């Protein structure tokens, strides 16, 4: 039976960033390539294997954080968790597609009917769509925050998709202050990346990813060796 006990009050956002950078710095470009290739493979598969790729990325980062040697082929280990990864990915990405539909469908319809709508009606439609979208985006951010430990739990504790999401939600809820601080720090890193000629964001992604996995490891300490 899996040990699902977790710590509380252990996420210190700035310390997580510093620790993450110190850990990934020796193999930064390898870990950068792993994230990049995993994202590309997940995308060109029409997101069918995106969950497996995220599991593979988490596997690599957990190995690095646990002091084990990482090789590029470790990314494909994520396919071992295809089923659980797919469940979590669907719960994350399907609502996103729904939000985009709510954003763009009303606008598209309004534009197509533009010739038969007054300017006031068009502006009202757009304003209403954006208001609903803003609410949905806030809901999605909160929902996704609760699931932020789901993928590493699948890899590290060998949980099924639904159990990983429930366990993640419990752990995040009990560490909400630290998680909110972590999100703000990650947003700051992303913003700095955007300011660096808009390409720095890509270089910031491995640091953000590692920061989240470091935070995970503080909440869920290592038990046994990761599966090989």
Q: Is 194's pLDDT higher than 80?
A: no
pLDDT in tens, 19-77: 999 999 999 999 999 999 999 999 999 889 999 999 999 999 999 999 999 999 999 99
pLDDT in tens, 34-44: 999 999 999 99
Between 5-9, 188-192, 196-200, the lowest mean confidence (pLDDT) is in 196-200
Residue 201's closest CA among 52, 32, 75, 19? 32
Sequence spans of domains, the chain:
13-91+141-219
pLDDT value of position 197: 63
pLDDT in tens, 104-138: 676 676 666 655 656 666 677 667 767 766 777 77
The model's pTM: 0.85
């Amino acid at each position: 039976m899996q040990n699902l006990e977790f710590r509380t009050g252990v996420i210190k956002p700035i310390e997580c960033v510093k620790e993450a950078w110190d850990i990934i710095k020796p193999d930064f470009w390898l870990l950068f390539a792993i994230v990049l290739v995993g994202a590309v493979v997940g995308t060109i598969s029409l997101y069918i294997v995106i969950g497996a790729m995220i599991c593979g990325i988490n596997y690599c980062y957990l190995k690095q954080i646990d002091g084990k040697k990482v090789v590029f082929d470790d990314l494909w280990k994520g396919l071992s968790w295809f089923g659980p990864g797919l469940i979590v990915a669907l719960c994350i990405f399907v609502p996103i597609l729904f939000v985009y539909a709510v954003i763009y469908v009303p606008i598209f319809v309004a534009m197509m009917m533009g010739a038969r709508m007054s300017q006031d009606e068009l502006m009202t439609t757009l304003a209403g769509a954006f208001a609903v979208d803003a609410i949905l985006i806030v809901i999605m951010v909160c929902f996704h925050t609760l699931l932020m430990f789901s993928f590493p739990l699948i890899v590290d504790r060998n949980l099924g998709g639904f159990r990983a999401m429930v366990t993640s939600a419990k752990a995040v809820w009990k560490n909400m202050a630290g998680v909110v601080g972590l999100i703000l720090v990650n947003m700051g890193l992303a913003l700095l990346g955007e300011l660096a000629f808009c390409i720095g964001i890509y270089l910031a992604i491995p640091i953000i990813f590692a920061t989240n996995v470091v935070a995970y490891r503080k909440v869920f300490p290592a038990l046994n060796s990761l599966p090989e």
